[in-house]
Amino acid sequence: MYILTGILMFVIGSIIAACGGDFSGLEVIGKFVGGAVLVLAIMWLFTQPVLLIIVIALIVIIAMCCAGSSK
């Protein structure tokens, strides 16, 4: 219960600070949520082998295009 209270106080404090121009708290919240979404997406990809192969192929194609366009 104390952990939930601390998290809620941090979120509310970050929103209040953002109203004053300090967006560092919202940045931390965004990085945490983005990291959690990334981990869940990777876990979901590992349950779908076909999608994992497609994602790897897309990453290779994008890397080849970026390496070729740097000339």
Instruction: Give this prediction's pTM.
Output: 0.61
Number of domains comprising the chain: 1
Helix (H) or strand (E) holding 57, with range, is helix 49-68
Full domain range(s) for residue 19 = 2-68
42-66 pLDDT, tens digit each: 888 888 888 888 888 999 999 998 8
C-alpha 11 chain-centroid distance:
17
Tokens of 71: 């000339």
pLDDT at 8: 93
